[in-house]
Amino acid sequence: MKTSPLMMLFYLGLGTVFGLVLSRSGAADYNFIQGMFLLEEFQLYGIIGTAVAVTAPGLYFLKRYGKTATGEKLQFERKPGHRGNIYGGFLFGIGWAITGMCPGPILVNIGEGKLYAIAALAGTLVGAGSFGALYPKLQGIFKLPSLQVGTGEG
């Protein structure tokens, strides 16, 4: 599926709005993330809960409608199930608590001018790169799908 320059601009714009919302809602704020994990701040639970409450019915109706805005057939992959869902989830949760950032907010924090977030991005890229390099070995340990399927495009 080719992506036209206009669509690239759309993804860039959508990402910018997404970044602005993450920045101003507390999702890219160290204190709000710690407050969520300490069960002291409702903010992030409210955000994730509302996002799911809006997306779930929208997704249900979009799937029934079955087409995109341009009339293309709506299609996306479901996530494959494997042991990595559990162990990878644990590792990511520890990293999220340590840095106060999940993947999107790492980029938002750098944009905001928070210099330490550059180290978080460097670590993340080395972590993702190591995962890719070790994939053949990890595949057996965690019963991961074949390389072409991957662990799940997220």
Partner 1 sequence: MHLILTDAAPIHWAIGGAAIGAITLALLYIGNRRLGVSTGFENICALVVHTPYFTRQSLVSSHSWRLPLLTGLFLGGVLSALLAGGWETTWALGMFDAEIGWGNGGKLLWMFGGGLLIGFGTRLAGGCTSGHGIFGMSNLELPSIISTVCFMAAGIVTTNLIYRVIL
Least CB distance from residue 87 to partner 1, whole Å? 6
Structure tokens at 34: 């710690």
- DSSP letter at 26 equals T
Stretch 19-48: interaction string toward partner 1, x if CB under 8 A: xxxxxxxxxxxxxxxxxxxxx-xxxxxxxx
Question: Segment 60-119, which members bind partner 1 (CB under 8 A)?
Answer: 62, 68-70, 72, 74-82, 84-104, 106-117, 119
Distance of alpha carbon 101 from alpha carbon 121, whole angstroms: 10
Nearest distance from residue 143's CB to partner 1, in Å? 12
- Tell which residue, 95, 88, 102, has the closest CA to residue 47: 102
When asked if residue 6 is in the footprint of partner 1 (CB under 8 A), the reply is no
Provide the phi-psi class of 71: left if phi over 0, else alpha when psi is between -120 and 50, else beta. left
Judged by CB under 8 A, the residue of 1, 64, 137, 140 near partner 1 is: 1
